[in-house]
Amino acid sequence: MTRHHARTSMGTALHEKFSAFAQGTARFTGHPATFLLAVLTIVVWAVTGPLFGYSDTWQLVINTGTTIVTFLMVFLIQNTQNRDTLSLQIKLSELILAQKGAQNRLASLEDLSDDELEALHNDCRHRADSVLTERRSRTRRRGATNPPRSIRKSPARRSARRN
């Protein structure tokens, strides 16, 4: 049983809400305006240092704030990275399996739910196994003395024969 089948309906709803929140937060925090807001916050904090006499409380405010933001961002970044990695893997699998034309439906994998991504990943894995089995079967029928046509007709082999 996969980890996705073990989820309860409440767990699935929570997972989907977190995934949507993580995606939205990643888009927001990756925006230049958000970076400028963070810089402005630090500048305001630094400028208020003399006003508060560089007290321990003044220092604690920035230390606590940055620690909390950093701690939470680790989870959001990991979630986004996991989704992007799986999406990229599925896209690459599709290109390898179908060199003449990848399926258009795979162009927007990043917008799918985690369960939909997992289902597509399993589908690609099964297709890859089928292709590999077929290739092995063809290689056995052909025998070791008769290489595949792509190797027999390769430019490197043709130029080697001329020399």
Q: Which structural domain range is residue 16 located in?
A: 9-94+107-142
The per-residue pLDDT for 63 is 96
Mean pLDDT computed over 110-139: 88
Domain assignment present for 118: yes
- As a whole number of angstroms, the distance between CA 28 and CA 110 comes to 16
Query: Closest Cα to residue 61, out of 36, 44, 74?
Result: 44
pTM recorded for the entire structure: 0.51
The per-residue pLDDT for 2 is 46
Domain assignment present for 3: no
Domain assignment present for 158: no
Domain assignment present for 102: no
The per-residue pLDDT for 149 is 58
Domain assignment present for 56: yes
85 vs 100: which has the higher pLDDT: 85
Residues 3-29: pLDDT tens digits?
A: 444 556 778 888 889 888 888 988 898
The per-residue pLDDT for 92 is 78
| Structure tokens that stand for 105 in this block | 């439906």
Share of the chain above pLDDT 90, in %: 34
Domain assignment present for 63: yes
